[in-house]
Chains A and B, each alone.
Chain A
Amino acid sequence: MHLDHTHPAPAALSADARRPDGTRRALRIGLGGPVGSGKTATVAALCRALREQLSLAVVTNDIYTREDAEFLLREAVLPPERITAVETGACPHTAIRDDISANLEAVEDLEDAVGPLDLILVESGGDNLTATFSKGLVDAQIFVIDVAGGDDIPRKGGPGVTTADLLVVNKTDLAPHVGSDLARMAADAKAQRAELPVVFQSLRGGTGVADVAAWVRERLAAWTA
């Protein structure tokens, strides 16, 4: 590696695993999914589960407000300097997939300001079933759907459901009330995703969160190995 001794190295460009000073950057995990499926609540639960052992930060991508960032601040899951909001100009999927420059600035600024960090969670604005994160922005992605959005979503597939590194089916406690068949959702997800993992989660019931956190820890262990 070329080291320039007369000037500091220029800023990082994209998904480079090393920061300009040569240290390893934080693992970046994206959380996407439809509006109201529980992305922000899952981010909050992950922060609570991991913040004692890991140095964490969060980037939110709101569509037209700072609500998600403000929810996390209100819940006090992390100190305010560890939470940043990116504005997306009415196109949340563009900011995480087609033009990731604002999100890259946000993750790098967080590492500069409060680093060193182990993990940065990048939460997408609520979007549709085709929204996925660019590999230039995140190292792994979680797609969050919920049982109340219809138990046919896993069957319908789409890039989020089919290719995300982890699929979280949220609000399982609501299944009996909205007539969703969890066994059918599990079978459809298995058919779409083959060996890729699925977690059924109920934040209200406290189930599933530990599995999602364990999956994140595994990714982190692989990243730092």
Chain B
Amino acid sequence: MSRAALLVLADGRFPAGGHAHSGGAEAAVKAGRITDAPGLEEFCRGRLHTSGLVAAALAAAAVLGADPGELDAAADARTPSPALRAAARRLGRQLLRAARVTWPSAELDAVARRFPKGAHQPVVLGLAARAAGLAPEDAAHCAVYESVSGPATATVRLLSLDPFDATGVLARLAPELDRVADRAVEAARRVADEGVDALPAASAPLLEVGAEWHAGWPVRLFAS
């Protein structure tokens, strides 16, 4: 495996559509739940331990070779909000396009045939990591980092938050990111014997409710 390949995949400028999504931050800002850097940190911590953990476990399981269809169904079952399911599939489709050009592989082409309208983004993230020769731990780290870096950069734009403060939030969360990634990989390793029910199903009701609210706004900066 190449450590640098992990940096390519984890780069916020990797062209897979993430820049247009706030990870729920736009709804949380509007609702007054994020007003400053400490509020952003609390929001990110909540997202990390819920949807971040679930995404990391799905991604790690995909690297380990679990069936993408079963993982996609497991992701659906863990995402109550239709708006979030649609956003996850759209992002999965965009990531798959970018990954197929970046790391050409027959396996990614087969996934594109099987899911013409996109699979859940964490599942595709794992498959992209696999095509890049990366390990389940790498995919899990990508997923947990994305779960907090998306809201952080979005909040910089939404609140004109000092970008150094937002980056400091990410740095302070780093040890927690490592622990959540480890838990996710542990769960993913059980999928081979126990099936996808071994994956965590941590849920953040406010993120789900906020996503439905956000999807109905006529004017918004971010797609989700």
Cβ of B101 and Cβ of A89 under 8 Å apart? no
For residue B33, which residues in chain A have a CB less than 8 angstroms away from its CB?
none
With A101-B94, A105-B94 as contacts: A11 and B20 at CB distance below 8 Å: no
What is the distance, in angstroms, from A99's C-beta to the closest C-beta of chain B? 4
With A10-B109, A90-B157 as contacts: A102 and B219 at CB distance below 8 Å: no
Whole-angstrom CA separation of A11 from B92 in the bound complex? 13
Answer yes or no: B133 CB below 8 A from chain A CBs.
Answer: no
For residue B110, which residues in chain A have a CB less than 8 angstroms away from its CB?
7, 10
Q: Determine the main DSSP class of B at the interface with A.
A: helix
For residue B219, which residues in chain A have a CB less than 8 angstroms away from its CB?
64-65
Cβ of A101 and Cβ of B221 under 8 Å apart? no
Interface residue tally for chain A (C-beta within 8 Å): 25
Whole-angstrom CA separation of A88 from B20 in the bound complex? 5
Residue-by-residue, is A91-119 near B (CB-CB < 8 Å gives 1, otherwise 0)? Answer: 10011001111101100000000000000
Cβ of B94 and Cβ of A95 under 8 Å apart? no
Q: Of all chain B residues, which has the CB nearest A4? A: B113
Whole-angstrom CA separation of A100 from B16 in the bound complex? 8
Answer yes or no: A196 CB below 8 A from chain B CBs.
Answer: no
Interface residue tally for chain B (C-beta within 8 Å): 30
Cβ of A90 and Cβ of B218 under 8 Å apart? no
What is the distance, in angstroms, from B11's C-beta to the closest C-beta of chain A? 11
Cβ of B218 and Cβ of A94 under 8 Å apart? no
For residue B16, which residues in chain A have a CB less than 8 angstroms away from its CB?
99, 101
Cβ of B13 and Cβ of A98 under 8 Å apart? yes
Whole-angstrom CA separation of A52 from B17 in the bound complex? 35
For residue B221, which residues in chain A have a CB less than 8 angstroms away from its CB?
63-64, 89-90
Whole-angstrom CA separation of A99 from B19 in the bound complex? 8
Q: Of all chain B residues, which has the CB nearest A112? A: B116
Cβ of B94 and Cβ of A102 under 8 Å apart? yes
What is the distance, in angstroms, from A105's C-beta to the closest C-beta of chain B? 6
Q: Of all chain B residues, which has the CB nearest A9? A: B113
What is the distance, in angstroms, from A171's C-beta to the closest C-beta of chain B? 27
For residue B101, which residues in chain A have a CB less than 8 angstroms away from its CB?
13-14
Whole-angstrom CA separation of A7 from B22 in the bound complex? 36
Whole-angstrom CA separation of A66 from B95 in the bound complex? 24
For residue B15, which residues in chain A have a CB less than 8 angstroms away from its CB?
98-101
Question: Which residues between 15 and 48 of chain A lie within 8 Å of chain B, taking CB atoms?
Answer: none
For residue B95, which residues in chain A have a CB less than 8 angstroms away from its CB?
101
Cβ of A101 and Cβ of B97 under 8 Å apart? yes
Whole-angstrom CA separation of A137 from B154 in the bound complex? 25
For residue A89, which residues in chain B have a CB less than 8 angstroms away from its CB?
19-22, 154, 157, 221-223
Whole-angstrom CA separation of A70 from B61 in the bound complex? 43
Answer yes or no: B90 CB below 8 A from chain A CBs.
Answer: yes
What is the distance, in angstroms, from B16's C-beta to the closest C-beta of chain A? 6
What is the distance, in angstroms, from B144's C-beta to the closest C-beta of chain A? 21
Cβ of A65 and Cβ of B113 under 8 Å apart? no
Q: Of all chain A residues, which has the CB nearest B108? A: A10
Residue-by-residue, is A55-67 near B (CB-CB < 8 Å gives 1, otherwise 0)? Answer: 0000000011110
Whole-angstrom CA separation of A90 from B25 in the bound complex? 14
Answer yes or no: B98 CB below 8 A from chain A CBs.
Answer: yes
Cβ of A94 and Cβ of B109 under 8 Å apart? no
Whole-angstrom CA separation of A94 from B223 in the bound complex? 14
What is the distance, in angstroms, from B5's C-beta to the closest C-beta of chain A? 19
Q: List 25 A-B contacts (CB under 8 A).
A: A7-B113, A8-B116, A9-B113, A10-B100, A10-B112, A11-B116, A64-B221, A65-B218, A65-B219, A66-B218, A87-B220, A89-B221, A89-B222, A90-B221, A94-B20, A95-B20, A98-B13, A98-B15, A99-B13, A101-B17, A101-B98, A102-B17, A102-B90, A105-B93, A105-B97
